[in-house]
Structure 1
Amino acid sequence: MVHVVTGETLPFSSAWARVDALHTTLTQLVLDGADLTRIADEVSGVLDLGFAVTTSDGRVTASGGTEGAVQRLLEDQGLLDDTGRIRVERGSPEGVELGAGELRVLRIGAGGADLGRLVCVRLDGSIGDDDAHALERVTTVAALVITREQAVAAVEDKYRGDFLRDVFLGRAGEPGFVVEHATSYGWDLTRPVLVVCAELDPAPDEEPVSQTQRRAWQERFSRAWRSVSRDLGPGIPSADFSSEVVTLLPVDPGGSTAPVALVERAVHEVAGDRGGGRRSFSVGVSRVATTQVDLPTAYAQARRAVEIGRKVHGPRSTTYFDQLGIHRLLALVPDGAEIKAFVRDVLGPLADDTEEAADLRATLQVLLDTNFNVAEAARLQFFHYNTMRYRVGKLERLLGPLSRDPHLRLDVSVALRALDVTR
């Protein structure tokens, strides 16, 4: 332990000697295999700071010092969201006044990668230049530890992901072996679960994204799901499948927490307040899988739910397979080309991807929703009654006697829903 007398202004040489001594101590800890918690305890003890290492979006991974007092101060100042994340985007390397004290947030990076944030709080007084120099050294040490931990975790996650993928493909082995192997990863596959498939939403077209950046987002997204899963309870499997994160949330029929509430809690805690660079994502949720045999089907349901949910409801959607309605039946059609052919046969030119076709489809949907009440449809679309009558005539010339044939209206209604999932 490096001892220091706080509250005194040290000579320049003494200050740098203290910084070097701290750096040497921390380097030795890294060589001895110390984790971030040990580093945090050492730094907070030497510099007399409340100290935390967080992900780049503010999720605490290690902390030291007077943790309870620091947390209360951050909460009082509005710097903690309701999931417990620190709002690191409101901090600054130069320091921000925090009550009677000061907050500093420093970026931890290596090789162009954003690895996290160093959050430092002094409850009573400012963080001096000497401490600031020391903290810059600490970010380097933290980057070494995080890089090492991520390298180990990447190998472990690959094996976990490969195993869970084999379970979904039904080729992981006999049930007894699967349970035993899952237990070695700390997972429990003996209980009913909901398969939750989460995907980052595509970046806007105007936002150029490199493959390295995309991978960094995915890794951070996967770590968030694993962290939240650990908080929700023991033995919850969560794995990164490169473009999606799959988590098996347990269902307790006699428990106090409803399955939907558990999903909502998980999604809420992963999303946080979208500060600090968090990306929006969409989620698909399967039916309850009561046994291992049900898992492949449940995974397919979750995949289909997230795919359809994003197309129908847009980004940031959470879609349950049981709530897909007619889309649930469409999801069971194995040949997507057959669905597209049905849409084209029923809608004709209204299936085109043009502004005129989209406008007519909107009018057609309103007419179907109002059971072809022309006056009500005109009011909802802010059209004159005669304009709506003209549109009805145009639609019937294109599609047939919609106002008189209920079976045709059913076909058209299904085709409009099918069009949502074929684009």
Structure 2
Amino acid sequence: MLTRSTAIAARVTDGGAESTTVESILDTDFLSEGVVIAGREGLGRIVDRLTLIENLESIRFWIGAQDLVLTTGFALAQCTEPLSSFVSAAHSAGVAGIVIHFDEDITAIGDGTRAVADELHFPLITVSESFALDHVLARGVRDRAQQQVRTMYRSERLRRLLVAKMVAGGGVAELASAAAAELDAAVLMTTSDGRRLATAGADEEVRALCRSSALDATGRLKTDSTDGGLGLRATDEGSIAVCAIAANGIDHGRVAAFSRHRTLSTQDLHVVDAAAAVFALAVTRDLALSKIEEKHRANFLRDLLLGRGGEHAHAVAHAQRFGWNIGRPVVVVVIEPIPGVDATRQTPDRMPLVDRQMMAFSGALAQRDPHAAIAALGTETVIMMGAGPNTVNAIRDIIDSVRGDGGGGRQPFAVGISRSCTSVEDIPGIYGQARTALKVGRQIYGTWAVTTFDDLGVFRLLSLVENDDELTSFTKETLHELTEQTAEARDMRKTLEMLLATNINIAETARNLHFHYNTLRYRVVKLEKILGPFTERPDLRLDLSLALKIMAMRGIDHYM
């Protein structure tokens, strides 16, 4: 015959029809000395499992919904975050409540923490005696606690191994290889939006990872989810554990372990997280070392764009120190994100948008033109690459690679492409062409515009007019009320545009606009009353065409 305590233990550990609550466990001799110090209104929360936590820094790996967490004052004293934040995080994870064994490290909980627990209806319970892990209610708790200890030792072993590799000068490739050997799994390191930086492990494991649904069609690790793709999940080829590589509040990327021959567990995720911490140190070190060189690169590229690069031979020789070849025919490409748009969803905070964008283009560019120059300058990324008959197509391929499918953090951007030049002295001129193409193309075509300078046509001339008031005045004086943003004015502008495009061919215009011939004749009469006899005057038609293009260049009309 079961006692009250053993019946509850069966429900907690094995499940059952009757729910166990925090309050019902308080009624047993397991917590007979328990005192509810906050969150009393939450005593009805369901308890599915008791979990002993001695290291609160790794609590996210060991707790789940409906866990009643057992911890100690010593563990709370080691916690680096405020206890109120710890309570809020546990509540968000669905934890049923926290039971604290007070000792000499912490003997009281602050009023602020109690207030948070009361507001959340999250039970905080204190006990004065150590937890009796041999109690029937604690069945399985000891085993889970031992798992935590074993995992902590395993994580520390890997951490020490990776730190030793890093101190010896090892890069991310060496660290990935060491982690793969220790984890007995394939290891993948990526940027924050999933681009591969290093892969290691047995060939068959790596191939399975590359085939798996964890990667998108472009070969990137999928990070386009609310949590950034972090945690444990199953794929069609095996299981994967993903953790963030973060340092100084900046999200630098992801490290993932993948196995097709075993199911990765919470313990594996904890170990991968330890590896991610060392990867973050390595990334921070590499960034610090490259930052000075990157500054020199950016300064020299800026000098070239502003005409301060020196004589041709000197500039070409200096560029070769950075691995750039500017002694060949080159084009300038300018990439600029849409102002004010940076819909980053992942935490922690990421590096500035332009820097992320430059890194993305740098990786894609290296595969097609390893001797191209690239740098983030202010609000834009500038590329100077070799020119050839297929340059524009190559640039579009690079853009498609950067945009891709899946991944995260890629924001809308516009691109301007210059003509080619063969002399360093001409670089400032083609930089201006790329800037003009970007600016005008974005105004005409909107988000994601990719525009070459040769595509601009008459817009090149219009862009040279710096006095916006003069353009506005010309447009209003030419189009009159057709400049208004009403449905009727937009419709009449569209009719006028088609008439000009067909050289006032009434029949062809009517067919293109799906109008009856007489309807269009009526519209022509109405337009001439507003604009003058444009069907008879070629000079007036030219003015009207220019006025319509000015409106398009300013992004007012996008049907052109």
Do Structure 1 and Structure 2 share a fold, with TM-score over 0.5? Answer: yes
Question: What residue identity is the alignment partner of 2:154?
Answer: R
**Distance 1:70-1:197 versus aligned 2 partners, 3 A rule:** farther
- Residue 96 of structure 1: aligned partner: 233
Please tell me whether residue 159 in structure 1 is matched to residue 291 in structure 2.
Answer: no
Query: Aligned ranges for residues 175-254 of structure 1 at < 5 Å?
Result: 175-202=312-339, 216-252=352-388
Residues 410-419 or 212-221, more deviating: 212-221
Deviation at 1:179, TM superposition (A): 1.8
TM-aligned CA deviation for residue 279 of structure 1:
1.7
Deviations 1:298-324 (A, max 9, x none): 111111111111111221121111122
What corresponds to 2:432 in structure 1? 300
How big is the shift at 1:190?
Answer: 0.7
| Matched residue SS, 1:232 | coil
Consecutive unaligned residues in structure 2, runs of 5 or more: 1-143, 556-560
Aligned residue number for residue 503 of structure 2: 371
Aligned pairs, number: 407
* C-alpha distance after superposition, 1:393-416 (max 9, x if no partner): 332222111222222112211221
CA distance 1:28–1:136, shift in 2 (3 Å): same
State the partner residue of 1:417: 549
- Distance in 1, matches of 2:499 and 2:311, equals 54
Once the two structures are superposed, residues 184-241 of structure 1 have per-residue CA deviations (whole angstroms, 9 ceiling, x without a partner) of 2221111111111111234569x699xx979622211010111122222332100111
Contact 2:222 2:406 in 1 (8 A): no
User: Which position in structure 2 is the counterpart of 1:169?
Assistant: 306
With over 3 angstroms needed to count, the CA separation of the structure-2 counterparts of 1:71 and 1:252, relative to structure 1, is farther
Mapped partners of 1:57, 1:116: distance in 2: 7
Residues 100, 125 of structure 1: 8 Å contact kept: no
The one-letter amino acid of 1:133's match is H
Report the 3-state secondary structure (helix = DSSP H, G, I; strand = E; otherwise coil) of the residue aligned with 2:189: strand
Change (3 A) 1:151 1:392: farther
Q: For 1:311, give the aligned amino acid.
A: Q
CA contact (8 A) 1:346 1:412 kept: yes
Distance 1:281 1:96 in 2: 32
- Does residue 393 (structure 1) correspond to residue 525 (structure 2)? The answer is yes
- Quick check: 2:222–2:229 contact (8 Å CA) kept in 1? no
Gap runs ≥5 in structure 1: 1-8
The 3 A distance-change label for structure 1 pair 75 and 36 is closer
Tell whether 2:221 aligns with 1:86: yes
Give the CA deviation at 1:327.
1.5
**Aligned residue number for residue 73 of structure 1:** 208
- Equivalent residue letter for 2:204: A
CA distance in 1: counterparts of 2:263 and 2:163, whole angstroms: 26
Q: Which amino acid aligns with 1:269?
A: S
Equivalent residue for 2:252, pick from 110, 115, 126 = 115
**Identity within the alignment, %:** 37
Q: Distance in 2 between the 1:17 and 1:32 partners?
A: 23
- How far apart are 1:93 and its partner, in Å? 3.5
Q: What is the root-mean-square deviation of aligned Cα atoms in Å?
A: 3.0
Distance 2:420 2:388 in 1: 10
CA distance in structure 2 between the partners assigned to 1:302 and 1:227 by the alignment: 21
1:113/1:216 contact within 8 Å kept = no
Which one is further off, 160-169 or 96-105? 96-105
Letter in 2 for 1:87: K
Correspondence 1:330 to 2:466: no
Residues 208 and 240 of structure 1: CA distance in aligned 2, closer, same or farther (over 3 Å): closer
1:336 Cα offset (Å): 4.8
The separation in 2 between residues aligned to 1:353 and 1:150, in whole angstroms, is: 50
- 1:258-407 equivalences under 5 Å are 258-273=390-405, 275-333=407-465, 335-374=467-506, 376-378=508-510, 380-381=512-513, 387-407=519-539
Aligned counterparts of 2:177 and 2:362: Cα–Cα separation in 1: 24
Structure 1 residue 178: deviation in Å? 1.4
> Which protein is bigger by CA-based radius of gyration?
2
**Counterpart-to-counterpart distance in 1, 2:176 and 2:244:** 15
1:197–1:283 contact (8 Å) kept in structure 2? yes
- Contact conserved, 2:187 with 2:201, CA < 8 A, in 1? yes
Match of 2:153 in 1: 17
**Preserved contact between residue 283 and residue 318 of structure 1 (Cα < 8 Å):** yes
- The answer to whether residue 274 in structure 2 is matched with residue 142 in structure 1 is no
**C-alpha deviation, 1:164, in angstroms:** 1.0
Residues of 1 paired with 2:172 and 2:201: CA distance? 13
Contact 2:500 2:545 in 1 (8 A): yes
| Distance (Å, rounded) in 2 between the aligned partners of 1:102 and 1:287 | 49
The Cα shift of 1:333 comes to: 4.3
Whole-Å Cα distance in 2 between the matches of residues 139 and 208 of structure 1? 21
Once the two structures are TM-superposed, the CA of residue 272 in structure 1 deviates from its matched residue by 1.8
**Are the counterparts in 2 of residues 92 and 104 from structure 1 also a CA contact under 8 Å?**
no
Q: For 2:190 and 2:408, how far apart are their aligned partners in 1?
A: 11
- If the length of structure 1 is used for normalisation, what is the TM-score? 0.85
Q: Is the Cα contact below 8 Å between 1:222 and 1:239 reproduced in 2? A: yes
Letter of the structure 2 residue corresponding to residue 37 of structure 1 = A
Amino acid at match of 2:461: L
Identify which range, 302-311 or 139-148, moves more after superposition: 139-148
Q: Distance in 2 between matches of 1:54 and 1:267?
A: 19
1:48 is matched with 184
Tell me the CA shift for residue 293 of structure 1: 1.8
8 A Cα contact 1:37 1:64, kept in partner = yes
Q: Alpha carbons of 1:100 and 1:261: their partners in 2 closer, same or farther (altered >3 Å)?
A: closer
Q: Normalization by structure 2: what TM-score?
A: 0.66
1:181 shift after superposition: 2.0
C-alpha separation in 2, matches of 1:20 and 1:373 = 80
Alpha-carbon contact 1:340-1:422 (below 8 Å) kept = no
Cα contact 2:216–2:405 (8 A) shared by 1: yes
How far, CA to CA, are the matches of 1:120 and 1:383 in structure 2?
63
- Partner SS for 1:46: helix
Pick closer, same or farther for the CA change 1:114–1:15 going to 2, 3 Å. Answer: closer
User: Match of 2:331, as an amino acid?
Assistant: L
SS in 2 for 1:95: strand
